[in-house]
Amino acid sequence: MNNILDYTLEDLERYFTDIDEKKYVASQLFDWIYKRNIYDFSKMTNLSNNLRDKLSKDFTINLPITKKILKSKGTTKYLFELSDGNLIESVIMEHGYGISACISTQIGCNMGCSFCQSGKTKKIRNLQVSELVAQIMFIESNLGKKISSVVLMGIGEPFDNYENVMKFVYIINDKNGLNIGARRITISTAGIPKFIKKYALEDIKANLAISLHAPNDTLRSNLMNINKAFSLKEVMSAINFYLEKTHRRVCIQYIMLDNINDSKKCAIELAELLSGLNIYVNLIAYNRTSNSIFKPSSEKRIECFINILKSKGIDTCVRVKFGHDINASCGQLKANFESK
């Protein structure tokens, strides 16, 4: 039986047309699921009894099982078990302007970033659209509040699950669905050039964040295996294509690793690499894992790095650190749970 959360509004319009129902029934169904949080077809009272019976035979609505919920100031982390027994994570962060959800897109990850906990595990499979949507729906149900923004920065590489991720984005952005504005959705990628270019041509223009983490190929290849497949030159070419097609600003993510990529030389190289582009740099304070050889940069080195970038005309900020006391970095909670 198919999970109805896998279906966009257009998918459901085609389904209803094929069974000789009106297209507008798809909007009614979306309203029940995404606005009223009703997951039982028998309770959707503006649909005919025959249609409710058919929907019950053709579809299911499944949300994940929670294995663990950890809370800290302003942060809650969820460990979910999927129908096949695999585990994924989601995190919410409460800001003055609303609640942001960081969700996973894969079980495991093949990008192999040396500083990332989830990068230490091989990809098992992509998450289905329904498994992406269900993370948001469960969190909203658990909190009793609406999610105001979504970042795809959890376990996995979103562009390695491109088709499902895009269907997910269209569903949560749909005014009949979760109605989360495109400007409040951010897709983070380690840098797969062909999908950056493909994304530039999509109808929806959610935000794009590129995990760069180094200003040259030698250092980036040491930190990120993906750079061995796609060089900085290729990634920067794709970023330029995206900027040309969308005229939208790109976020460059840069994790600060003590005495690795946080030198004055690295800051100058990074400024030269990004000069003249419609970007801003988001410096990330490293959240150290139990088995990591890396250490977070000192405040002094971060401040020096920021000052160099700003002096070169690069707009720069530091991401506020959330959840370091509850294993909130990608893959930490899952790894700790499985090890026990």
E strand or H helix that includes residue 69: strand 65-72
Find residue 210's DSSP bridge partners: 189, 252
Give the three-class secondary structure for 269: helix
CA distances for 277 relative to 241, 274, 313, angstroms: 11, 6, 10
Nearest CA to 335 out of 274, 282, 276, 291 is that of 291
Which one of 109, 113, 266, 330 is the catalytic residue?
330
Whether 299 is catalytic is no
- The active-site residue, picked from 89, 131, 140, 157, is 89
Which residues are within 8 A (CB) of 56 and not within 5 positions of it... i.e. 6 or more apart?
41, 42
Instruction: Label residue 315 left, alpha or beta by phi (over 0 means left) and psi (-120 to 50 means alpha).
Output: beta
Burial-class residue 269 by CB neighbours within 10 Å (0-12, 13-18, 19+): middle
Give dist(CA 336, CA 340) in Å, integer.
6
Instruction: Dig out the tokens for 317 from the structure.
Output: 């900020």
Q: Specify whether 113 is catalytic.
A: no
DSSP label at 116? -
- For the record, the structure tokens of 236 come out as 């920067």
> Which backbone phi and psi does 179 adopt, to 5 degrees?
55, 45
Write out the catalytic residue numbers: 89, 330
